Each structure stands twice: as C-alpha cells, then as structure tokens.
Structure 1
C-alpha cells in the first residue's frame, strides 16, 4: 500500500512538472513548483513511513522548508524586484502541446529503462523511479524550450527535485547531511541565478534569451 501511494505521488510529480514547463507566466510557474515540492515532501514522508527510514522523515521536513517555502520566496522576490514583467512581449517558444509530447516520450523511455534494472526498488516503485530519472530530461526540456531566462531556472529546480526522489528511492537510509547538502546547494544556486537574471533585466529590460546574442564571441 505504501509503495502504491509513492507511485501515485510520483505521477503527480510529473503532472506538476509539466505544468511548470507549460505555464504561461512566472507566477503560475512558481505556484506549480511549490505544489510539486509539496508533493515531493509527501512522497518522502510516505517512503519514510513505508521503509521505516527515519532519515527520510527528516528529509521531508528540510524539503518543506527549502523547496516549499524558501525557493518560491526567492523567485517571487526576484520577480517582484523586476516589476513582474509579462511574457506577452517574448517571442514564441516551444508550444505547450509539443512540450507535453516530449515529456511523455521522456517518461516512456525512462520507464522502459527502469524495467530492465534489477533492483528491489525498481520492482516495487517502478513508476516513481522512472519519473525521478525522467526529471533530468524534463528539466533540460524546460531550459531549452523556454525563451524566458527566469523560467529556465525552473529547469534546474526540476532536475534537482528528480535527484531527491532518485536518492530517496535508492538510498532511503543515506545520512541526513547528504540531503542538507543538496538542498543548500540548490538554494544558493537559485539565489545566484536570480541575481544574474535581475542584472540582465536591469541592463537590457528583456528576459528573452534570444535577445542576449550580442553576448557571444
């Protein structure tokens, strides 16, 4: 029963990731990321209760603080500092329908790979493990497909969430310091990327990655 809930929550992770990628503005993307992080907390807590790993319960608590609270706050603050610029002025990027199709293919490929892995976790939590692997590619899709350079930050965040799930599934009793280290790195990375985006906005008043071509060379 416990692993069934883990797999269901894994399914919700990919749904919320897709919503982050296809969201039409930053505010919606931030909200969907916060929802996804809350699902991640639930997955870690459920997995901890199922396996009896108290470490995962501590991971769930730290993930709530860092991912549900701090990261959305940092992104919201940076967005407000820029005056909440609209995506309406950006050039058209990858259409949502195409993004959804690409994500579906990525999940299907990862599912096919995971079914060939001989691990206890792969036998009881195949969907969740496949989705955690797929998040690396979903994150890349977000980075590559988005014209808004602030939205590209979410690609990194999605990959980082996927790494949390993978680590939790494959090493549920790993020391808490590992989780703390990953979460701390993620927060500092988001802070640095947010500062860079704000500096770009202050200099060019554009969040369109294709407007930065003059920086090449």
Structure 2
C-alpha cells in the first residue's frame, strides 16, 4: 500500500509536468511548478517513512522553502510585467504534448528496468519518473515559443535531478539538496535577466523573432 502511494505521487508529478508545459502564461506555470514541487515534497516524505531514509525529512523542509515558496514567488514577481500573447502559442497541440509525455515516461520505465540498486529495485517507477523529467523539461524548452516558459523546462529538469538524487543518495545530508536548488535558482535568475533585456530591447518574448541577427 505504501509503495502504491509513492507510485501514485510519482504519477501526479508527471501530470503536473504536463500542465506546466501546456500552460499559456508564465505566471500560471509558476504556480503549477510550485504545486509540482509540493507533490515532490510529499514524495520525499513518503519515501522517508517507507524506507527509513530520515535524511529525506530534512530534504523536504529545504525543498519546501526553496521550491514551493522562494523560487515560484520569485518567478511570479519577475514575470508580472512581461507578457507576449503571440509567444504564448505552443508549437504543438496539447494532445500531441500529452502523447509525447506518455511516450517519454514509457521509454524511461523500460530504460530503468535493469537497474538493481537496493532501494531503487522496488521503486523503479519512481526512478523512471525522475529520468522522464529530464526529457519532459527538454520537451518544454523545444516546444515553447515563449522564452519565459522555456525557463520552466530547466526547472522540471532540476526537479527530476532532485528525485533521482533522493533515490540514489538518500542518506546524503540535506545540504546537498540545498546546494543543487540554490544553483538552480541562480541559473533561473540569470535566464530571467537575459529575458528581461531581450523584452526591453525587442519588445517580444517570441523565440521565433530571435532567429535572425540584426546589425
């Protein structure tokens, strides 16, 4: 039953990733990312309880502060004055994106099947979800015309790396999780600064408008 709860939470992670990708507005995606991060924290707690991985309790606290409160609030605040309705159109229909997310998840599950590490052997579905997040993040980057939405592709990848680390190095101190998240926050800040400069200079967030260099 406990593994069923863990697997269901992992499944919800995939669903929230899908909604992050298809969200039209960057601010909406920021709140959806916060929701996904909250699900990730519940997953940390469930794994910690089931497998006596007590370090994950500390990971959950630091992840709540950074992923649920700090980073989404920062994104929402910085995105408030930047909007480009043309750029909010996705390159692919949501149905096609849903199919691609499903295919990515299925392939990831078959890729992790041979893995035989102690805790992971009973949580292969969760490991598959963590691996799938790297490619779902990449899907977000390549299918979105809005450069603000592309930032969330990186955020999804970071959540995937946090889950992978929780499964493979769950006895590591929570400072490792903090370090990874802080690096991600600074990377996101740099990307947003670049986006603000582009928006101020060209008045567009559409990546298609940035393909031609102008002298």
Q: Normalising TM by the smaller chain, what interval?
A: over 0.9
Structure 2 partner of 1:161: 159
Equivalence for 1:63: 63
Identify the range of structure 1 (152-161 vs 26-35) with the bigger mean alpha-carbon deviation: 26-35
Q: Is the 8 A contact 1:111 1:130 kept in 2?
A: yes
List gaps (5 residues or longer) in structure 2: none
> What SS does the corresponding residue of 1:118 show, helix, strand or coil?
coil
Q: Deviations over 1:91-147 (max 9, x none)?
A: 651111111111111100010111222223333112111010000000000000100
Matched with 1:20 is 20
Q: How does 1:19-168 map to 2 (within 5 A)?
A: 19-82=19-82, 85-88=83-86, 93-168=91-166
Question: Who is 2:3 aligned against?
Answer: 3
What is the TM-score with the length of structure 1 in the denominator?
A: 0.93
* Alpha-carbon distance in 2 for matches of 1:165, 1:216: 42
- Alignment partners' CA distance in 2, 1:216 and 1:133: 39
**Aligned-partner Cα distance in 2 for 1:177–1:146:** 33
Q: May I ask how many residue pairs the two structures share in their alignment?
A: 215
Helix, strand or coil: the match of 1:81?
A: coil
Q: Of 164, 169, 172, which residue of structure 2 is paired with 1:171?
A: 169
Contact 1:55 1:176 (C-alpha < 8 Å) held by counterparts: yes
The SS at the match of 1:104 is helix
Residues 115 and 206 (structure 1), Cα distance of their counterparts in 2 relative to 1, 3 Å cut: same
1:91–1:208: 8 Å Cα contact kept in structure 2?
no
- State the Cα deviation string for residues 58-113 of structure 1 (Å, max 9, x = none): 1100110111011111111111133xx14346565111111111111110001011
CA–CA separation in structure 2 for the residues paired with 1:138 and 1:90: 18
C-alpha contact 1:87 1:148 (8 A) present in aligned 2: no
- In the alignment, the residues of structure 2 paired with residue 75 and residue 181 of structure 1 have an alpha-carbon distance, to the nearest angstrom, of 19
- Shift in Å, 1:34: 0.9
Of 185, 188, 196, 1:187 maps to 185
Deviation at 1:27? 2.4
Return the offset for 1:3: 2.6
